[in-house]
Amino acid sequence: MRRPLLLSILLLTLLLPATSWAQALGGLIVGKLVGADGAPLENISVSLKKTGTGVNTEANGSFKLKAEAGTQLLHISGLGYVTQETAVEVVAGKTITLPTITLQINQHELSEVKITEQRGLNQRPASVSKMPIAPLDLPQAAVTIDRQVLEQQQVLHLSDALVNVSGLYVTSTTGGVQEELGSRGFAYGSSNTFKNGVRFNNGIMPEASSLERMEVLKGSAAILYGNVAAGGVLNLVTKKPQFERGGSVGLRVGSFGLWKPIFDVYGAVGKSDKVAFRLNGTFEKANSFRDEVKSDRVYVNPSLLFELSPKTTLVLEGDYLRDNRTPDFGVGAINYEIQPSRSRFLNTPGAKNATQQTSTTATLTSRLSDKWQVRAIAGFQRYANEQFSSSRPAGSVFKPGKFYGNQLRSLQRSNTAENYYLAQFDVTGSFRTGFLGHTLLLGADADQYNTRLLAYTAQPYDSINILDRTKVVTQPRNAVRDYSQLPLVTRTLGNTRRAGFYVQDLLSLSEKVKVLAGLRWSYQETPSDVYTYTPPTAAVQTVTVRENRRFDSAFSPRVGLVYQPIKTTALFASYSNSFTPQANTVTDNQGNGLPPSVIDQVEVGIKNDLFKGALSANVTAYRIVNSNQAQVIQQYLNNDVRQPNPAYNSAWPSAQELAGEVTSKGVEVDIQSKPYLGWTFISGYSYNNTAYTKSNIYENGSRLRYNPAHTANLSVFYNFNTSFGENKMLRGLSAGFTTYYVGDKLAGRNTRTTVANDAFRLISIPDYVQFDASLGYSYDRFSLRVKLANILNELSYNLHDDNSVNPIAPRNFSATASYRL
């Protein structure tokens, strides 16, 4: 692990004397860059075209650059500005002061791209926060991972990118068809996952090849998005249209039969300077390190940009994904102990999971003035999934003997369809009232889920031995032959409707003290109708209907304080809350619905930009408490039959009350660098403890499942462009590694204190360190990247409950060749 780093340092050390000697014979170029309005431009690249060496401008727009004597051509570029080249005659031992250079804005650069390039972690506002405020002014942790990092690390799945964000992790991979995420002890459901600012169903692995960047807003986001879990939200931003023509075609191949052609083209529509397009997509086909598992997918992501006026733009985006793969619930567990294996497959022949997801989004943005802007978003998504699979091999208690390890397999079938509609409107602006500065957000949103779920009665199929698949086990007498024999048992129709209104204001009390305060009101209707069908064998075929209706509302406040003792450091503290509506079946001891659970969150931290912004280092500590969690009302107090519980009502034996408590607390560290002398790195660490702190069902202090106590990450890359000047062959070379640690993670089932001799157990998942290495080379329009993943061949698992015990991939190889159009 240390050898590549040591070799690179040694190489730089050898080159430095020669470089210094050459520069000693040259002179110094001094200058300043400003915009069309005369304001200084920071972080603009100024380089010598001959050697490629250069610097970025300071906060006041100035730069100093050493150069060899003779005629030098300065290359000046910054995303969002027209590139310029200026000839300078350098005299040995002299300082050449250039007149002020003015850069013109490139009108065809999109703002989404502009804010990510050449900016550090604390200089890139995330669109998921909805407000045009600097990250140092935000009393909340946020992380953005841009396309350069995704390409360097050759991200294939979303989990490959998560390793760059402390405290964001995969909780499980149920059936091997999705990657379920979590943060700070709370699961990211579809309500917490967004694409281009619109919720999308994460029941399928999203396509990573289309991503421009990944944004993570940690902690509570209820004020912005309503019903979201307390851990945070994830926003995936896809590639946008550009007026400059370009693109690429490529092919990725890898272990286990991976074959993935990729294309990306963009440019103006015809010769128009008002309409631009982008079209990217891929086809992927692969087998697996798992026996009998395979997958294929098709993805297309078209988009159009219309410049309706100098101040108004409309972006139309489409997204289509068809994904077919073998459902795979892993290697199985016996007596809540994982049975080590990487390849053992326990599903039935013909098992399949087929998903289609289609979405469209329209985003209209209009700048009313230099300080006010309106944005409207409309979105639609269609999600359809059909799964044919055997039952999951669960970790039930087995007794040693003749039948040890035998599992009865039942066939299961489900069909899900979902239509999702969204409308959102935001107004942002800045103004002053006396000595107070304001950055204001006013907004409203409404969305609707129409869902249909068809469930079929599971039927016995056969029995297997999960330890020895060659062992013959007697087939049940009432076994079915295939999935067509499974009868429909229920049809559930849902029509969830939500609406919210929110206001948030960043108050600037002074240059050093700022307060972010806001409030949201959310309303939610959750009607559903459940149709239950009698079995086909019944003498009379009937259908019964159960109607469920819920109407909930909640206020979500937020207040945060930011103190900046210096311009590059911010201390912050914040309070916010979120809410979780109860299921339709949850009632109190009188049969009435329970109100939503309200979750309080306190967060404190420090954000630092060090070494003139070259390095950003942020630390956050948090405490999240759900003090009114729904739990079943027990018949007796403290499980003592001599103490009847007065709240228990035998007419409603499954009634619940808002009396439980879960507490999550932890620390997160995120460190990112800008490119410096060819080096870039990303590092992080997280600690989390999420436990029952008040429960009448589980032992107080027992940790909740799926949440690792520790994660750590480090990614280091070196680009040889800055070191080899005229040697074009070496200047296209880059290399690096990424390592990720997961420690002290639990699955299984928490032991119930209300059950004598309870068989439930927690399962300790093996800790692991995944180490990946990458090498890239570009020459002219061609590039080649290779990656070796899990070099240490670590074995661990992702678990759901005590089933779906899915091993992580072993050591594997991939390579991507591409040609830039």
Is the pLDDT assigned to residue 232 strictly greater than 50? yes
Would you state the pLDDT for residue 12? 38
If phi over 0 gives left and psi between -120 and 50 gives alpha, with beta otherwise, what is residue 718?
beta
Distance CA 182, CA 188 (A): 5
Nearest to 156 by CA among 739, 820, 684, 814: 814
For the segment 367-375, the average pLDDT, to the nearest whole number, is 92
Assigned fold of 23-102: Immunoglobulin-like (2.60.40)
- In order, the DSSP letters of 585-644 are T-B-TTSPBPPPEEEEEEEEEEEEEETTTTEEEEEEEEEEEEEEEEEEPPSBGGG-TTSB
CA dihedral 199, 200, 205, 206 (to 10 degrees): -80
**Counts for the chain of helices (H) and strands (E), in that order:** 6, 47
Would you state the pLDDT for residue 520? 97
Would you state the pLDDT for residue 717? 95
Would you state the pLDDT for residue 70? 83
Would you state the pLDDT for residue 14? 35
Pick the CATH number of 128-237 from 2.170.130.10, 3.30.1330.10, 3.90.1150.10, 3.30.70.3270: 2.170.130.10
**Pair of tokens at residue 444:** 């409203």
Quote the distance between the C-alpha of residue 717 and its chain's center.
Answer: 22
Residue 267 and residue 303 in contact, taking contact as beta carbons nearer than 8 Å: no
Instruction: Look at 68-77, 162-171, 586-595, 699-708 and tell me which has the smallest mean pLDDT.
Output: 68-77
Would you state the pLDDT for residue 393? 80
- In order, the DSSP letters of 476-489 are PTT--SSGGGPPEE
pLDDT band for 25, please (50, 70, 90 cuts): low
Would you state the pLDDT for residue 3? 43
| Strongest mean pLDDT among 86-100, 183-197, 509-523 | 509-523
Percent of the chain with pLDDT over 90: 63
Would you state the pLDDT for residue 727? 55
For the segment 713-718, the average pLDDT, to the nearest whole number, is 96
Distance CA 203, CA 385 (A): 9
Q: What pLDDT digit, counting tens, does each position of 552-602 carry?
A: 999 999 999 999 999 999 999 999 999 999 888 888 999 888 999 999 999
Nearest to 188 by CA among 160, 227, 149, 157: 227
Strand segments, DSSP code E, in 333-405 are 333-334, 337-338, 352-367, 372-390
Domain ranges of the chain: 23-102, 128-237, 238-820
Assigned fold of 238-820: Maltoporin; Chain A (2.40.170)
Is the pLDDT assigned to residue 725 strictly greater than 70? no
Q: What pLDDT digit, counting tens, does each position of 256-296 carry?
A: 999 999 999 999 999 898 999 999 999 999 999 999 999 99
pLDDT top residue among 495 and 191:
495
Would you state the pLDDT for residue 20? 36
> DSSP state, 128?
G
Mean pLDDT, rounded, of the chain: 88
Q: What pLDDT digit, counting tens, does each position of 236-261 carry?
A: 999 999 998 999 999 999 999 999 99
